[in-house]
Amino acid sequence: MADQRDFDIVLFGATGFTGGLTADYLAAHGPAGLRWALAGRNPAKLEAVRDRLGLPDLPLLHADATDAPSLQAVAERTRVVITTVGPYIEYGEPLVAACAEAGTDYVDLTGEPEFIDTMYVRHHARAVQTGARIVHACGFDSIPHDLGVLFTVKQLPDDVPLTIRGSVRSNATASGGTFASALTAFSRGRQMKKASAERRAVEPRPQGRKVRTVAKAPHKDPVLGTWVVPLPTIDPFVVKRSAAARADYGPEFSYAHYAGVKTLRYVVGGVTGVGLLAAAAQVGPVRRALLSRLPAGTGPDEARRERSWFTVDFVGEGGGRRVRTRVSGGDPGYTETAKMLAESALCLAFDDNPESAGSVTTSVAMGENLMDRIVKAGISFDVTGSEDL
């Protein structure tokens, strides 16, 4: 049935900042014969994107995040949907529902825990029935962390307890869409906890294995030599779910997730800054004023993105061995995120992936296939050290 559909990939949100970069990447790097289309609610804006891409025959489809029938029609015509339309907690569910119903694979770049948990509770079971793979967090949240942990696991002995910690650093700046998603998440702490509890109540736990996330207070890492601060992002939750689903993560697995900084002064500044932003998000007028200063659809220009970089350093221990690994690349939130998002969709469409269905992580749905793709696309996975303990 999938081969009888009109398109391999439909991109929803190409008129936005990251969506436009994703369209650029597909136009430049999509395989010969790729059948793809752009979807959105504004025909004039879609035509402008098509003109910029120089692809006059690229199909344009009508789809509106508030119009469920239009999303269902799109989902039924394609094998994979990419969406960059957020904040996802506000706009994302109808498309997830449409893909779950149609048996259509789905990828997004959300970092919103409430959204991911709610989509699991409401649509995972139907996606399993239809064979749809619903893969959230296919950008900087959370591919470098999820696949970076998988890469690290592969360097350690099999079938032994494993502990891994990751430390991320970057000099990048945020876009309006990312800023809006972060403020929305900060303002919905109570709803986030409720969604997490509802998911825990229905999600099966690994049998005969232990999987957990841990994080210490800010401290200087004795192996990495930098200060590390617990990072309240979606990434450790994604890693935990991958570990729960993959037996090759060992009989007992733990992961700790941090931001790495050079000096204690930056530790204090970072913690203070996040606290102030979280507090501001609780006050509606203040939150709206902040959002107006960095509106959705805006982001760093090409020159700024070219100067941006990221690294995620991992320390893995198990079976008497310690390994250090690193995932690294350019501008994380936009250039590399567009690359990772597009390659995730291409991987689902064309690669011989492990059998999976429902709400699954990148490591579960694609694993080593996706890692190979993004390495070829210029993101590095390296072993930086190893030793006996």
Q: What pLDDT shows up at residue 181?
A: 56
* pLDDT, tens digit (0-9, with 9 covering 90-100), for 82-111: 999 988 999 999 999 999 999 999 999 998
68: how many CB neighbours lie within 10 A of its CB? Answer: 15
281: number of Cβ within 10 Å:
20
Task: Copy the structure tokens of residue 64.
Answer: 């509106």
pTM summary value: 0.91
Per-residue pLDDT, 247: 96
pLDDT of residue 268: 47
CA dist., res. 278 & res. 263, Å (int): 23
Question: What is residue 231's predicted lDDT score, i.e. its pLDDT?
Answer: 83
Provide the residue ranges of all domains of the chain, joining segments of one domain with +: 2-140+336-371, 143-331+375-388
The domain defined by 2-140+336-371 carries CATH number 3.30.750.80: no
Which pLDDT does position 87 carry in this prediction?
85
Q: What is the 3-state secondary structure (H, E, C) of 10-74?
A: EEECCCCHHHHHHHHHHHHHCCCCCCEEEEECCHHHHHHHHHHHCCCCCCEEECCCCCHHHHHHH
Residues of the chain with pLDDT under 70: 1-3, 173-187, 263-298
What value, to the nearest 5°, has the Cα angle with vertex 309 and ends 14 and 144? 70
Q: How many CB atoms lie within 10 A of CB 132?
A: 28
Rg of the Cα trace of the chain? 20
The owner of tokens 């005969």 is: 208
Name residues whose C-beta falls within 8 Å of residue 314's C-beta, 6 or more positions apart in sequence: 148, 149, 151, 152, 164, 165, 166, 167, 323, 324, 325, 326, 327
Residue 92: which H helix or E strand, with range? none
